[in-house]
Amino acid sequence: MKDKGIKSLNSLRGIACLIVLVAHIVATSKYGIYASGCGKIGVWCFMLLFGFFLMLPLINDDKFNIKEFYIKKYFAFILHI
């Protein structure tokens, strides 16, 4: 049951990306004045869900080490740029 809920949240993250994409496409058309600011809703939803999915493994882990977490994130950031 838990896995099904996470899949639906992941789908919501995809919908948020589509909202931003559509808002950018409409903004370049002649109807851009009507779509001004609509992409913010998608960005807010996406960032909220991104933070949730980033912290989810830490919430479920019994042996969470904050130092190890930040070292991993630092090297992941450095190596992917």
pTM of the model: 0.61
| Per-residue DSSP letter, 80 | T
Distance CA 46, CA 12 (A): 8
Residue-level pLDDT at 81: 61
Question: Which of 34, 39, 48, 33 minimizes the C-alpha distance to 19?
Answer: 39
Residues in contact with 24: Cβ distance below 8 Å, sequence separation at least 6, in sequence order:
39
- Give the count of beta carbons closer than 10 Å to the beta carbon of residue 27: 16
Render each residue's pLDDT in the chain as its tens digit; 81 residues. 456 568 888 889 889 999 889 888 888 888 777 777 788 888 999 899 988 888 887 777 777 788 888 898 899 888 876
Cα dihedral angle (8, 14, 18, 21), rounded to 10 degrees?
160
